[in-house]
């Protein structure tokens, strides 16, 4: 019934001059008129291209920029030092617990560094990025769909959430490109446009973690996600945007205690 109503509405709007947007129109519109883009999706339905192509491009861009940035000798040295400190910290706990000796610690440290610096590790890393991004997309879209339909009493399909997330990814792509350029210019590994660009803090502290989340691109992305979910699920705009920011805040707090969850929003 919903699909029939949607088709009827689409035909009616076509007759009065509201045309179905192409993928290119949506790409441009997400930056200048995101509300119109999501209204068009609500009328004409979500398409796989709306989420598959953006996420594919996001994966490709992430891998390429990561390769270029980490090929810089100074940045690579910085990352190697950070990795060594993290490994040493973990092995020191083993030494203190009496599970290994100091000599065994040095031996393991050398083995781990040899393994992580090899080409196979890079291939595995990039393959993992691709798999994780798609898995993350499906999981986060499912969470959005459940919250916006069951808790916020909206109406729509799971594909709507996929499309909103996918198209909003173009905002993330802009940040990735700018951060790569800035990282190379400053010869410093950066993760986002946050206060840590200008404030030097020890990595891993609570303050540095929360400051790393104060990113204008993240807030822009969240606003567009909230707006998009509002349009496609017919939920009041303010309620939708407030919900997405609350979810993000909860996610950030949880990510502090479960680090591997702090990848995205």
pLDDT 10s per residue in the chain (265 long)? 555 555 555 555 554 456 899 999 999 999 999 999 999 999 999 999 999 999 999 999 999 999 999 999 999 888 888 888 878 888 888 888 778 888 887 888 777 777 777 677 778 888 888 999 999 999 999 999 999 999 999 999 999 999 999 999 999 999 999 999 999 999 988 888 988 888 877 777 888 888 889 999 999 999 999 999 999 999 999 999 999 999 999 999 888 887 655 554 4
pLDDT value at residue 99: 80
Report how many domains make up the chain.
Answer: 1
d(C-alpha 190, C-alpha 181), whole Å:
10
Rounded to 10°, the helix 119-146/48-70 angle is: 150
- φ, ψ (nearest 5 deg) of residue 243: -65, -45
State how far the Cα of 223 lies from the Cα of 168, in Å rounded to an integer: 10
> Tokens in use for 248?
């993000």
Tokens 């883009």, residue?
37
So what's the pLDDT on residue 265?
46
Are the C-beta atoms of 58 and 133 separated by less than 8 Å? yes
pLDDT of residue 240: 97
Q: Which two tokens stand for residue 250?
A: 């909860």
Local structure of 70: helix, strand or coil: helix
The CA distance from 99 to 84, in Å, is: 20
The pLDDT assigned to 10 comes to 53
Q: What's the confidence (pLDDT) of residue 260?
A: 58
**Which domain covers residue 225, as residue numbers?**
2-261
Helix (H) or strand (E) holding 142: helix 119-146
Q: What stretch of H or E contains 236?
A: none
Dihedral over alpha carbons 100, 103, 105, 107 (to 10 degrees): -130
How far is 33 from 236, CA to CA, in rounded Å?
18
CA atoms within 13 A of residue 236's CA, in its CB half-sphere: 6
Helices and strands, counts by H and E, the chain: 11, 0
Q: What is the pLDDT of residue 106?
A: 81
Q: What is the pLDDT of residue 200?
A: 78
Per this entry, what is the length of the chain?
Answer: 265
Q: How far apart are CA 170 and CA 174, in angstroms?
A: 7
3-state secondary structure of 263: coil
């Amino acid at each position: 019934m919903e699909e029939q109503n949607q088709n009827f509405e689409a035909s009616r709007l076509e007759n009065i001059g509201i045309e179905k947007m192409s993928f290119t129109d949506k790409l441009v519109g997400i930056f200048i008129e995101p509300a119109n883009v999501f209204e068009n999706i609500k009328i004409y339905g979500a398409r796989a291209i709306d989420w598959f192509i953006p996420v594919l491009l996001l994966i490709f861009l992430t891998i390429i920029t990561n390769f270029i940035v980490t090929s810089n000798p100074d940045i690579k040295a910085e990352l190697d030092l950070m990795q060594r400190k993290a490994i040493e910290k973990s092995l020191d706990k083993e030494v203190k617990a009496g599970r290994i000796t100091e000599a065994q610690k040095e031996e393991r440290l050398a083995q781990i560094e040899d393994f992580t610096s090899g080409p196979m590790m890079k291939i595995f890393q990039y393959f993992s990025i691709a798999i994780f991004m798609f898995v993350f997309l499906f999981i986060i879209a499912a969470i959005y769909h459940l919250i916006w339909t069951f808790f916020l009493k909206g109406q729509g399909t799971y594909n709507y959430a996929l499309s909103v997330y996918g198209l909003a990814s173009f905002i993330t792509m802009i940040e990735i490109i700018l951060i790569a350029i800035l990282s190379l210019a400053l010869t410093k590994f950066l993760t986002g446009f946050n206060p840590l660009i200008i404030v030097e803090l020890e990595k891993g502290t609570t303050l540095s973690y929360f400051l790393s989340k104060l990113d204008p691109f993240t807030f822009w992305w969240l606003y567009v996600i909230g707006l998009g979910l509002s349009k496609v699920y017919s939920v009041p705009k303010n309620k939708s945007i407030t919900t997405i920011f609350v979810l993000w805040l909860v996610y950030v707090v949880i990510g502090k205690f479960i680090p591997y969850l702090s990848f995205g929003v």
